Structure 1
Amino acid sequence: MHNRRARLRELLVADRAAGGAVSTVALVCARCVVELSVTGAGATVLSEHHVDGDRAAPANRGLVHATDPVSAGLEDLQLTVGEGPCLDSFESGGPVLVADLAADGARWPAFTPGALALGAAAVFSFPLQFGVVRLGSLDLYRDVPGPLTRTEVTDALILSDMATQGVVEDLDGHATADLSWLLDPHVEVHQAAGMVQAQLGVSTDVALMRLRGHAFTHDLPLAEVARRVVARTLRFARDEGR
């Protein structure tokens, strides 16, 4: 496992040196296509809120990267219909591996027909998480049925861990070892979230997601976005991002 991790890390370093995408997440997704014999890959960030019953469902999402239009379409589809491997992986905290989507159609009756129409025949999702803190998922698809090998699953788990580190870097500008923004955001971020909550009439969780989404979209640290909101040089509109 250690040797495979070191090998994959060396490959990502070489990809970056060769003039590949600047984003670690983009590099990981591209490497997934090469190493795992999949057709496409995407990474999505999710947040949670409570709905009826005990189930927690994603409240907001952001597509961090997709290698091709089908990968992007699959992310949008499952988050639109409210089911699919990405959401199951995010909720369970474990991999979701479906080698033949057409044969397992009853599992996601709303997602499967659309996914097949997009060109996906097999789907595989791996959570992006630090311990119990879940950020989203790394999602792969093949245009022909077929399982991942044991080695490919191992590599996918390693690559999902690397993508998780990349998501933290991209979203907030912190070092990957610094999880304070996830577990206990700075007071100014809390203050900014409260102001956005009042501006939009949304929950605190949604307000935080809007702040993080703005930071990612405009390539800014979350703390800088919060400072602008508190200084009233940045204001969120109800229809922004729709």
Structure 2
Amino acid sequence: MEDRRQRLLDLLAADRAARPASAVALACERCVLELSVSGVGATVLSRLPGSNGDGQPSRGLVHATNAVSAGLEDLQLTVGEGPCLDAFASGGPVLVADLEAETTRWPAFTPAACELGAAAVFSFPLQIGVVRLGSLDLYRDVPGPLNRMELTDALILSDLATQGVVADLDGHNVEDVSWLADPHLQVHQATGMVQVQLGSTTEVALLRMRGYAFTHDMTLAEVARQVVARSLRFTKDKDGQ
């Protein structure tokens, strides 16, 4: 395994020399080249403010190698379920070789993910000891498991991606990722606004926003933009527009 780790380190060093980019982005792109996967997304997660550690994790930073990977990351935030969130919650890999068979496990995520083009998904936690920072999420457009060597390389690359995240987190509290370049920063802002509108908890506000996004075939980010722009308002009885 050490030989494979050194090989991947050498490849990443060559990648960085050829095209300067973040360690996380390079690790994602190397996954595509080494693991016979169709795309990869890396997500940094934190607990929602005000949840006291009990709320759903929210995304703080994302890198995706293609549009489908980006869509899968956004979908999980929207519906509140999927391999990324399970890997973050459990601290262990989530390996699903045939996504269509997981309708019971993820009733909202699975059909939408299949429609996006995912047929197999593999998520690996980004963590140091007991501290979980996020997940590295891989998908294939055809069913099939990672073989033993691919699984080994995925574990190594997730560890190297974690090191890249830690470098970015240097000097910051790992429980607060609000300082990151958050593509869903408006989600946090909108959640607070909806919480005030409903007189509810953060979790209830986010649940209402997710429900609205799902029933109106929108992303959670799109709902958040409308809330922040005040073109969408939530009430205690029903959602307003």
Name the TM-score, length of structure 1 as normaliser. Answer: 0.71
Per the TM alignment, residue 28 of structure 1 is displaced from its structure 2 partner at its CA by 0.3
8 Å Cα contact 1:60-1:209 kept in structure 2: no
User: 1:238 and 1:50, CA in 2 relative to 1: closer, same or farther beyond 3 A?
Assistant: closer
Structure-1 residue corresponding to 2:109: 111
| Structure 1 residues not aligned, in runs of 5+ | 175-179, 184-204, 218-236
| Structure 2: distance between partners of 1:165 and 1:182 | 16
Q: Give the conservation status (yes or no) of the 8 Å contact 1:50–1:56.
A: no
Quick one: distance in 2 between partners of 1:154 and 1:3?
Answer: 11
Find out whether 1:209 has 2:177 as its counterpart. yes
CA deviation map 1:95-136 (0-9, x unaligned): 000000012222100000110000000000000001000000
Distance 1:114 1:49 in 2: 24
Which residue does 1:44 correspond to in 2? 43
Q: 2:59 aligns with which of 61, 65, 68?
A: 61
After superposition, the Cα gap between the structure-2 partners of 1:25 and 1:57, relative to the gap in structure 1 and judged at 3 Å, is same
User: Per-residue deviation at 1:182?
Assistant: 4.0
Counterpart of 1:221 in structure 2 is none
Report if aligned partners of 2:46, 2:60 keep a CA contact under 8 Å in 1.
Answer: no
TM-score, normalisation: structure 2: 0.71
Distance 1:46 1:90 in 2: 8
Whole-Å separation in 1 of the counterparts to 2:189 and 2:145: 44
**How far is the alpha carbon of 1:49 from its aligned partner?**
4.9
Question: How many aligned positions are there?
Answer: 188
| Residues 46 and 58, structure 1, Cα contact 8 Å, conserved in 2 | no
CA distance in 2, matches of 1:209, 1:16: 25
Q: Distance in 2 between matches of 1:109 and 1:126?
A: 21
CA distance in structure 1 between the partners assigned to 2:138 and 2:189 by the alignment? 33
- How far does residue 58 in structure 1 lie from its aligned partner after superposition? 3.1
Identify which of structures 1 and 2 has the higher relative contact order when contacts are C-alpha pairs closer than 8 Å and 6+ apart.
2
Tell whether the 8 Å contact from 2:43 to 2:60 is kept in structure 1 after alignment. yes
**1:24 maps to 2:36:** no
